[in-house]
Amino acid sequence: MSDETTSEGPPESAAVLESMTLLATLSTAATLRESVAQRRAGRDPSAQEPADQATARLQNTGQTLMDLLMQMALSRVPLEQREEEPLPHAVRHFDLLMKMRRAERLTQAMHQHLLSLYPAVSEELVEEARRTHDEIEQFLADAPAEDADEGPHLSDVLERGMSLIVWVRHEV
């Protein structure tokens, strides 16, 4: 039997952790690349946008955020009631944090688009976008201590994010 045909066992922890580190690095690089491309194209994310552009971007960002929040919500549904091994648990937690970081960026973008539409949208909606962003940031700050009782819980963060998107769809 040759080395090529031998079955591989479960991945080693070091290899999985190295892959997660690489994924986090690539994610950060992609975000930076996107930001640089936006600036080179003459778009300042903190600047006011024309209403039609802000509306279109708000709708796209809201749909992307809703998809992401639904992925996180569905990934938390237990398939079986059993003890999870440490490595799969770490990978699942890492995936949640990566998605939550993306949700934080999307919520910040939604807030900026809403500011561009103000006063055509309510001040309460703009403020809710800011509070939702802050709650996601707080969740991420508390995330290393998964069992911490302080700060927002995942279900609360997901619910608030989904409520924001529904409110935006209703008002915009």
Q: What pLDDT, in 10s, does the model give residues 149-161? A: 566 899 999 999 9
Six-digit token pair at 106?
């999307």
Residue range 64-70: mean pLDDT, rounded:
97
- pLDDT at residue number 76: 78
Stated as kind and residue range, the H or E segment containing 155 is: helix 154-171
The C-alpha atoms of residue 21 and residue 150 are separated, in whole angstroms, by 27
Read off the amino acid at residue 63.
Q
Residue range 61-80: mean pLDDT, rounded:
87
Pick the CATH number of 48-77+84-172 from 3.20.10.10, 1.20.120.290, 3.40.605.10, 3.40.190.10: 1.20.120.290
Closest C-alpha to 136, from 101, 90, 94, 164: 101
121: confidence class by pLDDT, cuts 50, 70, 90: very high
What angle, 0 to 180 degrees and rounded to 10, lies between the N-to-C axes of helices 154-171 and 123-142?
160
The C-alpha atoms of residue 79 and residue 149 are separated, in whole angstroms, by 25
Closest C-alpha to 121, from 133, 109, 112: 112
Q: pTM score, two decimals?
A: 0.79
Task: Please list the alpha-helical segments (H only) found in 11-152.
Answer: 13-40, 51-75, 86-117, 123-142
Please give the residue that has the higher pLDDT: either 78 or 125. 125
Six-digit token pair at 69?
């929040």
Q: What is the DSSP letter of 74?
A: H
